[in-house]
């Protein structure tokens, strides 16, 4: 009889302790924890071991991610073990780190193959294994890592041909120097449009001409980075070519980013009582538990009460970008009046937008979107409030799952997300030049100028961003609300596609997605989406065609001008004018007589091509980007 109170007290103690700890701490994802244990063991370094807090291990960087059940967990995003005297090998378990963005193992003595499972790290951006003793062939499907920006395999004994160099749309730094590669350098390297540095030297078995990088002037405009690849006239059998680098380019540092704050990983061990202890041990346990239970429960009650009262506050911001070094940089947003002193720069359907300087960033400006949620309990929400709240939460999740996770120079990145009792705060880079729609309005009223070269650059930038979303990224992402108001311009007038609140991911197996209602902006919505509620990437192409027309015409679809035409539609009016005897009527009068009329008419033809009624007849985003990039100034 005396054993029951003791067991009850100890059980309650354990339960309340776990409740408190689970409220205060985040854990490393279980799958990542198991994979990391195997990886550290196989790398063979004496200093590498799995501690109780894996994310505090030097070289292991973790970041918070939103899980499927709407809770945050820690995921491993970087492994940086440079010059650590490692003598083992890279485990196939590396492929289980689904959020890994950087793997840097330079200057060690690692052996064996580069495991084929490396291609399962779909978000990998930096792969640096230079100066080791790796050997064998490179996985043939390495090019499936389309996010790679840095690929450094130099200073090893890799062999085989270079067939793995198929398609790397974002690759900026490529070094294969001092290996045993054979065969010819594939011509596919010419398609690496962002490449700024490459080095094939020290591969004496390579055959045939080897590309070198040359800078070209405006006549080479068909290449977005202003660099073209030529071929050497000599054979590559000697010492190979010297490294080729774009002017003023530099190799990116492997591990310059600071790790995200990493809460401790808690291990709970269940104590097992021995049945042989008997009644005497039971009475003893009951007596001890009874004397301390009052004190323990009073302390725990105060701790749990404090935790519950603070439950309305989030444990901190979820950081998605290294631009924000630590969570404390955004501590000013946790205050109730944190936005009161900030400059309000805009407002929309979801909320208001503010501008602020990021602390400790030497003047870096950020934009903060405040998405307000009804300050009521769930039971008090009206049906309208409930629908509005669900819509806002879907838009927040869409932003986090798209630009919170992916990076491209023509997409506006989400830097951080903070949940507060009354609202959600989304933090972005501040775009100094505002939206394309604001600029076009200023141009129409004579407050500023926007010449054709700047407009063409904007069009090409948006096309590059769409190509990444539709083709390079897996799964494909459909924006669903592409328009001038959602194209922001940075300090260099480079276009950034923004506002992914309506975006949808479409797996490769699907040809379309059906919705319950039409989403988007009138004038930019494709006719088939209006009629069938089914959308594809060709719906974005239609919207982009309208945006192209706006850039050339200087008029929005909502302009009163079109209400006084027979067609009463920008797209229909454009088609009729382009087939008339005087198609230059469609060009913005401010752009005429500048010598670029033929180019602008060509862009209008592309716009007509993008806005044909049949979605199958429209070009894809890659075709559009190629057509725009071939226009030479």
Q: Which residues are catalytic?
A: 481
Neighbours of 460 (CB within 10 A): 21
| Residue pair 464/411 in contact by the 8 Å Cβ criterion | no
Question: Which pair of structure tokens corresponds to residue 387?
Answer: 């629908």
| Residue pair 416/330 in contact by the 8 Å Cβ criterion | yes
Q: To which residue do tokens 């960033």 refer?
A: 361
Question: Which pair of structure tokens corresponds to residue 319?
Answer: 């950081």
Q: Where are the beta strands (DSSP E) in 373-473?
A: 414-420, 423-429
Question: Which pair of structure tokens corresponds to residue 624?
Answer: 């559009």
Q: In terms of C-beta density within 10 A (0-12 exposed, 13-18 middle, 19 or more buried), how is residue 217 classed?
A: exposed
**Gap between the Cα atoms of 140 and 162, Å rounded:** 9
Query: Closest Cα to residue 312, out of 423, 396, 237, 405?
Result: 423
**Gap between the Cα atoms of 81 and 473, Å rounded:** 28
| Residue pair 222/632 in contact by the 8 Å Cβ criterion | yes
**Gap between the Cα atoms of 551 and 7, Å rounded:** 75
* Cα angle, residue 368 at apex, residues 363 and 374 outer, rounded to 5°: 160
Residues in the chain: 633
What single DSSP character describes residue 276?
G
| Residue pair 485/497 in contact by the 8 Å Cβ criterion | no
Query: Closest Cα to residue 543, out of 451, 466, 458, 601?
Result: 466
**Gap between the Cα atoms of 574 and 605, Å rounded:** 9
Q: In terms of C-beta density within 10 A (0-12 exposed, 13-18 middle, 19 or more buried), how is residue 508 classed?
A: exposed
Query: Closest Cα to residue 198, out of 122, 130, 234, 251?
Result: 251
């Amino acid at each position: 009889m005396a054993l029951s109170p003791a067991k009850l007290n100890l059980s309650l103690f354990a339960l309340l302790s776990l409740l408190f700890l689970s409220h205060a701490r985040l854990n490393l994802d279980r799958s990542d924890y198991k994979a990391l244990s195997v990886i550290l063991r196989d790398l063979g370094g004496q200093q590498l071991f799995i501690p109780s807090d894996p994310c505090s291990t030097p070289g292991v960087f973790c970041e918070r991610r939103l899980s499927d059940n709407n809770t945050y967990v820690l995921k491993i995003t970087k492994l940086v073990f440079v010059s650590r005297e490692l003598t083992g090998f890279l485990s196939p378990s590396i492929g289980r780190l689904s959020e890994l963005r950087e793997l840097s193992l330079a200057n060690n003595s690692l052996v064996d193959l580069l495991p084929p499972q490396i291609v399962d790290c779909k978000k990998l951006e930096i792969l640096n294994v230079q100066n080791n003793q790796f050997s064998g062939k490179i996985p043939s499907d390495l090019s499936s890592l389309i996010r790679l920006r840095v690929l450094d395999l130099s200073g090893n004994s890799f062999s085989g041909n270079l067939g793995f160099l198929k398609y790397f749309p974002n690759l900026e730094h490529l070094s294969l120097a001092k290996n045993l590669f054979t065969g010819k350098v594939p011509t596919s390297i010419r398609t690496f449009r962002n490449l700024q540095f490459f080095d094939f030297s020290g591969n004496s078995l390579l055959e045939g001409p080897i590309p070198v990088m040359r800078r070209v002037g405006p006549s080479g405009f068909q290449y977005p980075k202003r660099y073209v690849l030529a071929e050497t006239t000599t054979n590559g059998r000697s010492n190979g070519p010297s490294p080729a680098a774009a002017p003023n380019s530099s190799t990116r540092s492997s591990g310059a980013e600071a790790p995200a704050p990493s809460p401790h990983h808690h291990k709970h061990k269940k104590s097992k009582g021995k049945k042989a202890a008997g009644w005497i041990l039971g009475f003893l346990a009951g007596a001890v538990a009874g004397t301390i239970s009052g004190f323990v429960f009073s302390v725990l009650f105060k701790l749990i009460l404090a935790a519950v009262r603070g439950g309305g506050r989030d444990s901190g911001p979820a950081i998605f970008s290294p631009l924000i070094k630590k969570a404390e940089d955004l501590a000013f947003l946790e205050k109730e009046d944190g936005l009161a002193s900030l400059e309000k720069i805009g407002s929309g359907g979801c909320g208001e937008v503010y501008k602020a300087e990021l602390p400790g960033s030497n003047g870096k400006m950020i934009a903060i979107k405040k998405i307000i949620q009804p300050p009521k309990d769930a039971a008090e929400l009206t049906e309208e409030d409930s629908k509005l709240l669900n819509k806002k939460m879907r838009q927040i999740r869409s932003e986090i799952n798209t630009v919170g996770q992916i990076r491209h120079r023509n997409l506006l990145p989400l830097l951080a997300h903070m949940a507060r009792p009354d609202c959600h705060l989304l933090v972005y880079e501040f775009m100094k030049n505002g939206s394309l729609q604001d600029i076009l309005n200023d141009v129409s009223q004579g407050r500023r100028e926007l010449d054709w070269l700047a407009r063409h650059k904007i069009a090409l930038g948006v096309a590059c961003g769409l190509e990444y979303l539709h083709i390079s990224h897996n799964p494909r992402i459909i924006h669903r609300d592409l328009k001038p108001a959602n194209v922001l311009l940075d300090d260099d007038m480079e276009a950034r596609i923004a506002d992914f609140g309506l975006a949808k991911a479409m797996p490769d197996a699907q040809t379309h997605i059906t919705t319950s209602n039409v989403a988007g902006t009138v004038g930019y919505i494709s006719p088939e989406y209006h009629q069938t509620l089914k959308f594809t990437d060709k719906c974005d192409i239609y919207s982009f065609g309208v945006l192209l027309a706006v850039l050339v015409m200087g008029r929005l679809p909502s302009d009163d001008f079109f209400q006084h035409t027979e067609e009463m539609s920008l797209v229909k009016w454009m088609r009729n004018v382009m087939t008339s005897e005087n198609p230059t009527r469609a060009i913005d009068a401010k752009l005429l007589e500048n010598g670029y009329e033929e180019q602008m008419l060509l862009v209008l033809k592309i716009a007509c091509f993008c806005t044909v009624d049949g979605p199958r007849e429209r070009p894809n985003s890659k075709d559009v980007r190629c057509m725009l990039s071939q226009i030479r100034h």
